[in-house]
Amino acid sequence: MNTRVKKLPLLVASLISAGALSAQAACPLDETIQIADMSWASASAIAHIESKILQLGYDCKTELVPLETVTAATTMVNKGRPHIAPEVWSSNIATLLEEGEKKGTISIAGKVFASGGLDAWWVPKYVVEQYPDIKSVQDMARYAHLFKSQGSDKGRFYNSLPGWSNETRSTNLFRGYGLDQHYDIYSAGSGAALDSAISSNYKRKKPVFFYYWAPSAILGKYDMVQLSMNDYDAANDACNAEANCPTPSAGGYPVVDVNTLVSSKLKDGAPELYQFLTKVSFENDTVNKLLAWGEDNKADPAEVAEHFLKNHQAIWTTWVPKNVSDKVLAGLQ
């Protein structure tokens, strides 16, 4: 009898301690956190990375919601959901961002790609090693014979994808540099077809000249050299964005801010989560290689996220306090 009485205070103390720990473990936002899961590989991988950190490190419930840039931003501006859009190419929704910031419904937490989104023209490194004076797009006029396609006296340049705004800009830049006199501008027709053309030429060590963006798996898988261009100038290059530009210029591509967009409800209601999201930032080369790993291993976005969290701790542990990173690492075991 006495033994049981003596144990009772210990039991009560244990229950109180467990209750305190449970209270400490509660998610800072008392609702399921919705994260926009966009259709391209980098955005989906980052959505899963953030979801995993929120689940394991902050004890939050998360929901990945399939959305694209415009729909995600529109519902965030008007309804405050989803709470997070991890990879927003801001140039595509400038008006929506302005509207949301005026309404006070959204905030830009930070740049998810430290160097911004990159558009450029590329050739394989083995081409430059053989012809080391190829450094800029202007140099390509002298080497069109290397890139000839069957049935043409001109070289072939693989343009941006049909329907993308950069298809127009890229075409006008090509004209501005006078390269249309030396090359045929060719559309592969789809992202998969463009990737296939690049991969096929690369594996056979054939010259290939193409437009591509970063971050991307192709640039993580293959050793490519970015050709230098003249600097982008908003005034001089404005015409290059027009489909029927009468005076294309030999300019460049604008560097695009790619941001983490957060609802004001999360920012105001859970400042510690907002602080975490302000620190989420990747170098393009890191994402290139991560996406290449995903393709090579036929991994889905959740597997890519887990691979990143297990193998790139030096990056993501700087985004969160140590107690949070410790919980994430323990949860990954």
Q: What is the pLDDT of residues 206-252, one digit of tens each?
A: 999 999 999 999 999 999 999 999 999 999 999 999 999 999 999 99
Instruction: Note the pTM of the prediction, 2 decimals.
Output: 0.83
- pLDDT per residue as tens digits for the range 159-174: 998 877 789 999 999 9
- The 10s digit of each residue's pLDDT in 316-329 is 999 999 999 999 99
At residue 111, the pLDDT reads: 96
Inform me whether the pLDDT recorded for 7 exceeds 70. no
Question: What top-level class would CATH report for the domain 118-241?
Answer: alpha beta
CA dihedral (118, 132, 230, 286) in degrees, to 10, reads 20
Q: Cα–Cα distance between 177 and 191 in angstroms, integer?
A: 25
Distance CA 216, CA 213 (A): 7
The arrangement of secondary structure in 29-115+256-332, i.e. its CATH architecture, is 3-Layer(aba) Sandwich (3.40)
Least confidently predicted of 124-133, 134-143, 166-175, 303-312 = 166-175
94: pLDDT confidence band, cut at 50, 70 and 90?
confident
Q: How big is the chain, counted in residues?
A: 333
Render pLDDT for 292-319 as a digit per residue (tens, 0 to 9).
999 999 999 999 999 999 999 999 999 9
pLDDT at 163: 77
- pLDDT (average), residues 189-213: 95
**Residues 173-181, mean pLDDT to the nearest whole number:** 96
- Choice among 13-17, 45-49, 93-97, 164-168 with the minimum mean pLDDT: 13-17
Q: Show me where the domains of the chain are located.
A: 29-115+256-332, 118-241
Comparing 13-22, 91-100, 296-305, the range with the smallest average pLDDT is: 13-22
Give the mean model confidence (pLDDT) for residues 19-48. 83
Other residues' Cβ atoms within 10 Å of the Cβ of residue 243: 9
Please enumerate, as own/partner, the contacts of 147-156 that have beta carbons within 8 Å and a separation of 24 or more: 147/183, 147/207, 147/208, 147/209, 149/184, 149/186, 152/184, 154/182, 154/183, 154/184, 155/182, 155/183, 155/184, 155/209, 156/183, 156/184, 156/186, 156/209
Q: At what angle do helices 271-279 and 41-58 cross, to 10 degrees?
A: 140
Query: What was the pLDDT predicted at 143?
Result: 97
* Mean per-residue pLDDT, 1-6: 36
What is the residue-averaged pLDDT of the chain? 91
Q: What is the pLDDT of residue 25?
A: 67
Q: What is the mean pLDDT of residues 200-206?
A: 97
- The token pair at 112 is 């998810």
Question: What pLDDT was estimated at residue 17?
Answer: 41
Predicted local distance difference test score (pLDDT) of residue 92: 72
- CA 312-318-319 angle, 5° bins: 100
